[in-house]
Amino acid sequence: MIIGSHVSFGSEQLLGSVKEALSYQASTFMFYTGAPQNTMRKKIDRHLTEEAKKIMKENGIDIKNVICHAPYIINLANKKDLEKWQFSINFLKQELERCDELGISYLVLHPGSAVGYPINEALQNIVDALNIVLETDFSCLILLETMAGKGTECGKNLDEIAYLIQNTHKSIGVCLDTCHLNDAGYEMKEFSEFLDLFDQKIGIEKIKCVHVNDSKNLLASHKDRHANIGYGTIGFENLLNICYNEKLKDVPKILETPYVGDSWESKEKKYPPYRFEIAMLREKKFNENLLQSIQEYYNK
């Protein structure tokens, strides 16, 4: 199983990401090229990239499985403020350029929020933007993420994702997010039925990444709050089934579960859970003392 988590990019850029991923015993990872909430980006440092690639090779991480995530503030759906829409388009182009520079194959993108637009117009705005971005050829492929449908989020069902893919002139892929799918109303305990439906509407070969997250909320809640693996409403067995689905066996699985604190309820979240969640999924064994395992490890 190709599995990792989101990690930071930081001052050592890709090299820092690789080191963090290795500290979780991950076989891949996902990073943002800067803070996910803003668009301040540093120039890619070629030496750090080379060093990162060397360490990846030594540790059996195939760069083809490494994922980049575009910042949340890119919104291709809303063009009421044309300048902002144009900014999103330009930023997305630069992000794809950075991915090509780094040698990264996939960039995950939230399709966008409709804000005041009716859904069909919002979807068309996204298509128009993607077609402008993809006038340039990039090696890196955009993956549209399936969304929970919080607020006016687009991409909350397979028909919306299908529309975007079928109307964009160049090839794009999809990133499934199990928490978002649950919150959007797709039953994750019937994952193979979901995949059949996906295959009919979009084509299973479009799936290039899976975000494996449990959910704090019920089916169709449209909330989007991630829970730790096995500690949410989807549950360990269902997430395990998804991770080991034969049809997605070569697709990288990425955890975006919350950091934990001194208790499940504590406001201060300081310890990453990934090392232990990856171990649970690899060993196919639920750790009912997850919180204690993480605290002990990081307090040593």
Using the rule CB under 5 A, is 160 a contact of Fe ion? Answer: no
Radius of gyration for the alpha carbons in the chain, expressed in angstroms and rounded: 19
Rounded CA separation 208/251 (Å): 6
| Residue 224, contacted partner among Zn ion, Fe ion, none, CB below 5-8 A by kind | Zn ion
Restricting to residues 127-146, name those near Fe ion by CB under 5 A.
Answer: 145
Q: How many other CB atoms sit within 10 Å of the CB of residue 1?
A: 16
Amino acid at 147: M
Give whichever of 102 and 177 is closer to Zn ion, judged by the CB atom: 177
Give the burial class of 201: count Cβ atoms within 10 A of its Cβ; 0-12 exposed, 13-18 middle, 19 or more buried.
middle
Using the rule CB under 5 A, is 177 a contact of Fe ion? Answer: yes
Do the bridges between strand 226-227 and strand 214-215 make them parallel or antiparallel, or are there none, so unpaired? Answer: antiparallel
| Residue 211, contacted partner among Zn ion, Fe ion, none, CB below 5-8 A by kind | Fe ion
Both tokens of 63, joined, read: 């760069």
CB of 72 to Fe ion, least distance (A): 8
CB of 45 to Fe ion, least distance (A): 25
Restricting to residues 197-216, name those near Fe ion by CB under 5 A.
Answer: 211
CB of 181 to Zn ion, least distance (A): 10
Rounded CA separation 286/284 (Å): 7
Q: How many other CB atoms sit within 10 Å of the CB of residue 144?
A: 25
Give whichever of 18 and 74 is closer to Fe ion, judged by the CB atom: 74
Using the rule CB under 5 A, is 226 a contact of Fe ion? Answer: no
Using the rule CB under 5 A, is 145 a contact of Zn ion? Answer: no
Give whichever of 15 and 155 is closer to Zn ion, judged by the CB atom: 155
> What's the farthest any 2 CA atoms get from each other in the chain?
54
Using the rule CB under 5 A, is 224 a contact of Zn ion? Answer: yes
Q: Which residues bind Fe ion (CB under 5 A)?
A: 145, 177, 211
Point out which residues bind Zn ion (CB under 5 A): 224
